[in-house]
Amino acid sequence: MISKLAEIVGEEWVISGDEAKLYSYPAFIPLKIEPPVVVLPGSEEEVISLVNFLNENNIKYIVRGSGTSLSGATTPTQGEVVISLTRLNRIYSLDNFEITVGPGLANFLINKTLGNSNLFYAPDPSSYVVSSIGGNISHDSGGMHTPKYGTTFDSIIRLKVLLSNGHVEEIGSSNFFDPTSIFVGAEGTLGVILRATLRLFPKPEVSKTILASFNSIDDAGKAVVSVYKAGVTPAAMEFLDKNSIIAIENTQYKANYPMAEAILLIELDGYSVNVEEEEVRVVSAIRNNNGEVFIPKDEEEKNRWWWGRKGAFPSFAYYSPAYLTLDANVPRSTLPTMLRFTYEISKKYGLPVANSFHAGDGTLHPLIGFDPKNADETIKAIKAAEEITKLAIKVGGVPSGEHGIGIEKIKFMKLYYSEDDLTLMRRLKATFDPKRLLNPCKLIPPAKNEICNTVNRIHTYLLEGDI
Amino acid sequence: MISKLAEIVGEEWVISGDEAKLYSYPAFIPLKIEPPVVVLPGSEEEVISLVNFLNENNIKYIVRGSGTSLSGATTPTQGEVVISLTRLNRIYSLDNFEITVGPGLANFLINKTLGNSNLFYAPDPSSYVVSSIGGNISHDSGGMHTPKYGTTFDSIIRLKVLLSNGHVEEIGSSNFFDPTSIFVGAEGTLGVILRATLRLFPKPEVSKTILASFNSIDDAGKAVVSVYKAGVTPAAMEFLDKNSIIAIENTQYKANYPMAEAILLIELDGYSVNVEEEEVRVVSAIRNNNGEVFIPKDEEEKNRWWWGRKGAFPSFAYYSPAYLTLDANVPRSTLPTMLRFTYEISKKYGLPVANSFHAGDGTLHPLIGFDPKNADETIKAIKAAEEITKLAIKVGGVPSGEHGIGIEKIKFMKLYYSEDDLTLMRRLKATFDPKRLLNPCKLIPPAKNEICNTVNRIHTYLLEGDI
């Protein structure tokens, strides 16, 4: 098999043994499984040849980008060949309000390319410096700008996808039987994204940052709802709890935030008259909920505040060597309830927790610290995460807002979806991937007749543990 | 069969013979075909029983609402039982920014129900007074407010759908394998919409109407592009050509428009400061393209202008007893080219043409007059429509922006989509409707082994004529 793969992509782009260990797990820490071989095709034609070869020989495979999946969507649990698309990183065209790129391009490079033009690409997951566009699409990634500009789905104009039978399809540009909503967020279980045409937005003429601090989580939660009730859709509205603030202030991300139970970091954008009017409304929504308002005194302070927010995840190292990142999306009105529950869970399991998240769209991000060298503690952290996810579903939420299901949350699909729903998903998968070769045993809980191997007790717990 | 149907829905709700003729064609005039029987279920349970009965007995069926399809999507061409959902018109709940309704409810009744609340439902197809929400969803209907608020798809939060196997699914609320984008616009070929939860928007605080008249179609087209380049997204931007203006001014829709080669009727909405800023930019975009600006002097004049626009289709009776309505969606920059071509085609075929359409989103609506009593002239009109649609595809457009494919444009699917695309669509259809009972021989051109009966030469031409 390896010689055939080398024939397609060239010997230097087929990796196995020690080097392949680099691809043994994405950002989802609890499970490390080495792939038998990693292939890095350099062109769409090579990807098509690879898929045809794998399909003809019934070989399972996983397609990945930069490996930033937090849900283990690209962990090779079933001995799959791993295809990395990082070399497919071309910018094909840039026309007016559209850009067409390869799936391996890092998100960040789009805005870098746009430079001083008056356009920008909106979806900005925290991983944007490295995460690839193909991965963003396959997870329907959100980000700080989701409340106003939507998730990755909302920025997709067209996709060129490769199906397992070797056919190349253009999807998204049509009105009829358009499978885009099932492809986006499918975590690579349906086909390969070869090329994406993305929507660009005009840069806002003005943007304004407001920081609000609160002595209670409830007040902060109410302020979030009040902002929307005042008719304002902020470009971003980020929530940091006290644990996050402490971590940030004690690491290189130090932002000089006011010490408080919670802060909201808000960005407004648009025409200047519009932003002025929104500022009046937002300030009043904050003060009506007992918040204190801070305006950055200069560009430097503003950038420091946002840089601090970007450091919320990495600065969690202050508490713990590794963490799980949840991402349930819940109704905005339930945010305080959810947060209080994360602190209870922290106490119950004796594991550190911090919350920093996109309050604007209700996507929570509790971080739960654990020691990945300790399998017992790892499973304990997974159990803590499960309790939080269960409550999120109970209050009307969805198990994952933007990080995907992967292997991490696969059991929760059974809590959230009915067996009929899952059957329909399996039928849709079979339409695109009749041989079940593409990223098997992920996202959709396996049907009764579907065999999924497990490699250790953490894996077994993720796939089959009680819920 | 009829006695079994009567058992399910009650005798008075099963219609055949002369009464069924009322359901022999929707607003698509060229083809009248009587259904063997029409059933009007009164509850979701009755719909489920009907579908189970029809499925078990391999009986083809069509589901329809108010019958306003302009593409013949609900014309019973294959002897189908017609299920009318007009009795499923309940409003189930109205919560904050969401409303849940039955599929038979007329679009208009949502905003009537909302009354003086501060919310509104945005999608407003011209047929909104009668067309049903189920039909709007099945055609992904747009309307005047599409440029700012999107099509029906963008207002869908959740759908409760009935699949042909009798399973009821909730779709749209999940992130994973969500089939909403294939269900919306599927013209009833995949399943039955039982209930829809729709997004409501806060009513804009201020709205402002601006009318612009132009002595050339090119200038009007350029002004449309300039408005967007100025960073303004109008709530509505409607285009009327001279032929439309003449028709409106000579019928009950008389609006006292300035006589011009083209007018744009623009609505801006938002906060007052925002609308003021947008007005400055729009007025400058109009004047820079040699347009003259008119502001309504009072509420009455403003309403008259919009009422005139709403009368653009019915007032076409001034030219012709019936008309075909095209709805290709084209890049905004090609609007003048497309319009000029409609006048050439009018001359070539000796048939009247008028253009009134949503310039904001590039959805053309050329009306082509013909005498439906004359089969030759009907086919001539269809041929004229085909030439226009072909050019629309050539300049980068889509054959249908909002009226759907139905039977009217089924051949064009082969021009726009590759055989691989169509194969994928057929596979998706088979996933939901393996027996091909749901609205067969519509939307997707039949596969080679699929038999479609034709009833007359117009039908044969629509299905099989040269393109």
In the predicted model, what is the mean pLDDT of residues B360-374? 91
Tens of pLDDT along B52-106? 999 999 999 999 999 999 999 999 999 999 999 999 999 999 987 899 999 999 9
First to last CA, chain B: 40
One domain, residues A274 and A178: no
Tens of pLDDT along B317-362? 999 999 999 889 898 889 999 999 999 999 999 999 999 999 988 8
* Residues of chain A by 3-state class (helix, strand, coil), percent to 5: 40, 20, 40
In the predicted model, what is the mean pLDDT of residues B16-38? 90
A288 is a domain residue:
yes
Q: Nearest chain B Cα to A185, which residue? A: B176
**Residue-level pLDDT at B346:** 97
CA dihedral sign of residues B258, B263, B268, B273: negative
Q: How many other C-beta atoms can be found within 10 angstroms of the C-beta atom of residue A344?
A: 13
Q: At what angle do helices A335-349 and A375-394 cross, to 10 degrees?
A: 160
- Asked whether the beta carbons of B199 and B97 are under 8 A apart, the reply is yes
For residue B300, list its beta bridge partners: none
| Structure tokens belonging to residue A383 | 């159990």
Domain boundary among B277, B310, B343: B310
One domain, residues B373 and B431: no
**Residue-level pLDDT at B465:** 83
Q: What secondary structure, in 3-state letters, does chain B show?
A: CHHHHHHHHCHHHEECHHHHHHHCCCCCCCCCCCCCCEECCCCHHHHHHHHHHHHHCCCCEEEECCCCCCCCCCCCCCCCEEEECCCCCCEEEEECCEEEECCCCEHHHHHHHHCCCCEECCCCCCCCCCCEHHHHHHCCCCCCCHHHHCCHHHHEEEEEEECCCCCEEEECCCCCCCCHHHHCCCCCCCCEEEEEEEECEECCCEEEEEEEEECCHHHHHHHHHHHHHCCCCCCEEEEEEHHHHHHHHCCCCCCCCCCCCEEEEEEEEECHHHHHHHHHHHHHHHHCCCCEEECCCCHHHHHHHHHHHHCCCHHHHHCCCEEEECCCECCHHHHHHHHHHHHHHHHHHCCCEEEEEEHHHCECCEEEEECCCCHHHHHHHHHHHHHHHHHHHHCCCECCCCCCCCCCCCCHHHHHCCHHHHHHHHHHHHHHCCCCCECCCCCCCCCCCCCCCCCCHHHHHHHHCCC
One domain, residues A193 and A229: no
| Closest CB from B176, B205, B274 relative to A274 | B274
One domain, residues B373 and B442: no
Identify residue A129 by its one-letter amino acid code: V
Cα–Cα dist B86/B104, whole Å: 4
- Given an 8 Å threshold on Cβ–Cβ distance, is B182 in contact with A178? yes
| Structure tokens belonging to residue B396 | 């980068």
Which of B:330-359 have CB within 8 Å of A? none
Q: How many other C-beta atoms can be found within 10 angstroms of the C-beta atom of residue B138?
A: 29
B386 is a domain residue:
yes
Question: Which stretch of DSSP H or E encloses residue A26?
Answer: none
Contacts of A225 in chain B (CB under 8 A): none
Picking from B33, B24, B36, the residue whose alpha carbon sits closest to that of residue B64 is B24
Domain boundary among B394, B424, B454: B394
Which of B:205-224 have CB within 8 Å of A? 205
Rg (chain B; Cα; Å): 22
Chain B CB within 8 Å of residue A45 CB: no
A407 is a domain residue:
no
| Closest CB from B170, B182, B444 relative to A179 | B182
- Given an 8 Å threshold on Cβ–Cβ distance, is B182 in contact with A182? yes
One domain, residues A124 and A145: yes
- Given an 8 Å threshold on Cβ–Cβ distance, is A274 in contact with B276? no
A401 is a domain residue:
no
Question: What domain range is A457 assigned to?
Answer: 412-429+436-464
∠ Cα A338 A342 A343 (to 5°): 120
**Residue-level pLDDT at B200:** 93
One domain, residues B81 and B132: yes
Chain A CB within 8 Å of residue B389 CB: no
Contacts of B443 in chain A (CB under 8 A): 176-177
Q: Phi, psi at residue A87, to the nearest 5°? A: -80, -15
Cα–Cα dist B39/B54, whole Å: 12
Which of B:431-450 have CB within 8 Å of A? 431, 443-444
Cβ within 8 Å of residue A199, ≥6 positions away: A97, A98, A154, A155, A156, A157
A403 is a domain residue:
no
One domain, residues B268 and B333: no
One domain, residues A117 and A187: yes
Q: What secondary structure, in 3-state letters, does A193-220 show?
A: EEEEEEECEECCCEEEEEEEEECCHHHH
CA distance B204 to chain A (A): 9
**Residue-level pLDDT at A247:** 97
Dihedral angle, C-alpha B35, B124, B113, B192, nearest 10 °: 40
What does each of the 467 residues of chain A score in pLDDT, given as a tens digit?
899 999 999 999 999 999 998 898 888 889 999 999 999 999 999 999 999 999 999 999 999 999 999 999 999 999 999 999 999 999 999 987 899 999 999 999 999 999 988 899 999 998 899 999 999 999 999 888 988 898 999 999 999 999 998 999 888 866 678 888 889 999 999 999 999 999 999 888 899 999 999 999 999 999 999 998 888 989 999 999 999 999 999 999 999 999 999 999 999 998 888 899 999 999 999 999 999 999 999 999 999 999 999 999 999 999 999 999 988 989 888 999 999 999 999 999 999 999 999 998 888 999 999 999 999 999 999 999 999 999 999 998 888 888 889 999 998 888 888 888 898 899 999 999 999 999 999 999 999 889 999 999 999 999 988 77
Cα–Cα dist A402/A330, whole Å: 12
Question: Which stretch of DSSP H or E encloses residue A260?
Answer: none
Q: Nearest chain A Cα to B172, which residue? A: A181
Question: Which stretch of DSSP H or E encloses residue A107?
Answer: helix A107-114
CATH of the domain at A49: 3.30.43.10
**Residue-level pLDDT at A317:** 93
B131 is a domain residue:
yes
Contacts of B197 in chain A (CB under 8 A): none
Question: Which stretch of DSSP H or E encloses residue A33?
Answer: none
Pairing of strands B61-64, B81-84: parallel
∠ Cα B170 A160 B358 (to 5°): 70
Which of A:289-308 have CB within 8 Å of B? none
Cα–Cα dist A169/A194, whole Å: 10
- Given an 8 Å threshold on Cβ–Cβ distance, is A425 in contact with B176? yes
User: pLDDT band at residue B174, thresholds of 50, 70 and 90?
Assistant: low
**Full DSSP string of A327-391:** --B--GGGHHHHHHHHHHHHHHHT--EEEEEEGGGTB--EEEEE-TT-HHHHHHHHHHHHHHHHH
- Given an 8 Å threshold on Cβ–Cβ distance, is A186 in contact with B179? no
Dihedral angle, C-alpha B409, B411, B414, B416, nearest 10 °: -30
Cα–Cα dist A323/A70, whole Å: 10
Cα–Cα dist B121/B151, whole Å: 11
Separation in Å, CA A283 to CA A194, A224, A272, A276: 45, 12, 16, 11
CATH of the domain at A278: 3.30.70.3450
Q: At what angle do helices B375-394 and B335-349 cross, to 10 degrees?
A: 160
Picking from B171, B141, B135, the residue whose alpha carbon sits closest to that of residue B154 is B141
One domain, residues B29 and B126: yes
Cα–Cα dist A433/A164, whole Å: 6
**Residue-level pLDDT at B175:** 65
Picking from B261, B366, B360, the residue whose alpha carbon sits closest to that of residue B313 is B366
| Closest CB from B205, B273, B428 relative to A179 | B428
One domain, residues B86 and B232: no
CATH of the domain at A323: 3.30.70.2740
Contacts of B176 in chain A (CB under 8 A): 185-186, 405, 413, 425, 443-444
For residue B100, list its beta bridge partners: B93, B197
CATH of the domain at B422: 3.30.465.10
Cβ within 8 Å of residue B200, ≥6 positions away: B97, B98, B99, B114, B119, B120, B121
Tens of pLDDT along B305-318? 999 999 999 999 99
One domain, residues B51 and B180: yes
Domain boundary among A44, A60, A84: A84
Percent with pLDDT over 90 in chain B: 76
- Given an 8 Å threshold on Cβ–Cβ distance, is B400 in contact with A175? yes
Contacts of B205 in chain A (CB under 8 A): 231
Cβ within 8 Å of residue A178, ≥6 positions away: A171, A172, B181, B182, B185
Chain B CB within 8 Å of residue A140 CB: yes
Cα–Cα dist B263/A366, whole Å: 55
Domain tally, chain B = 3
Q: How many other C-beta atoms can be found within 10 angstroms of the C-beta atom of residue A393?
A: 15
First to last CA, chain A: 40
B405 is a domain residue:
no
One domain, residues B97 and B12: yes
Picking from A210, A165, A347, A316, the residue whose alpha carbon sits closest to that of residue A253 is A316
Question: Which stretch of DSSP H or E encloses residue A117?
Answer: none
B101 is a domain residue:
yes
In the predicted model, what is the mean pLDDT of residues B296-303? 96
